[in-house]
Amino acid sequence: MIAFDLRCSNGHSFEGWFKDLESFHEQDSKGMITCPFCKSSKITRVFSPIAIKSTKAEEKPKEGKPDYKKLARGIMEYIRDNFEDVGTAFTKEALKIHYGVAEKRDIRGSATGEEEKILKEEGIKFFKFPFIKPKDEDN
């Protein structure tokens, strides 16, 4: 279906719906289209304003391997900015937090293999993350 803006010889504007342009011409030539206001059958098609919106296809990110180095840097920066650095006292501080002696907070630091065993035995969850140099230290 297609809608056309129409106007009669008396200047009345109205809309008509047709199967296609050929149907409009066929009905118009047989006088089948009449103005709903004055019943005139002298009808002309009026060009209606239209707008066509076009958009550029969105660029899809290139599919490929993730940049793991960049991802690791982002995680490391987050940890540096949001976790308290307790250095080699990591195990001691983790135990204090676990048993309520110290306030709960996010900490980072280092632990030996033996200290990691102690943390596991005590049921303290932690994760190991390899340290990488900050971006400005690469060269």
Quickly state the pLDDT bin for 64 (edges 50, 70, 90).
Answer: confident
> How far, in Å, CA of 74 to CA of 136, rounded?
14
Residues 133 and 101 in one domain: yes
pTM: 0.48
Domain assignment present for 52: no
Domain assignment present for 38: yes
Instruction: Calculate what percentage of the chain has a pLDDT beyond 90.
Output: 48
Nearest alpha carbon to residue 98 among 117, 63, 124 = 124
Domain assignment present for 88: yes
Quickly state the pLDDT bin for 68 (edges 50, 70, 90).
Answer: confident
Residues 78 and 31 in one domain: no
Domain assignment present for 75: yes
Identity of residue 32: M
In angstroms, what CA-CA distances link 78 with 3, 13, 30, 83?
A: 59, 66, 77, 8
Domain assignment present for 73: yes
- Reading the block at residue 38, the tokens are 């004055």
Residues 75 and 16 in one domain: no
Quickly state the pLDDT bin for 58 (edges 50, 70, 90).
Answer: low
How many independent structural domains does the chain possess? 2
Indicate the average pLDDT of the chain: 85
Residues 31 and 77 in one domain: no
Q: What is the pLDDT of residue 135?
A: 57
Domain assignment present for 62: no
In the DSSP assignment, the letter for residue 59 is P
End-to-end CA distance of the chain: 67
Query: Which whole number is the average pLDDT over 98-118?
Result: 92
Residues 73 and 41 in one domain: no
Q: Is the pLDDT of residue 21 over 60?
A: yes
Segments forming the whole domain that contains residue 20: 2-46
Residue 78 burial (CB < 10 Å; 0-12/13-18/19+)? exposed
Quickly state the pLDDT bin for 9 (edges 50, 70, 90).
Answer: very high
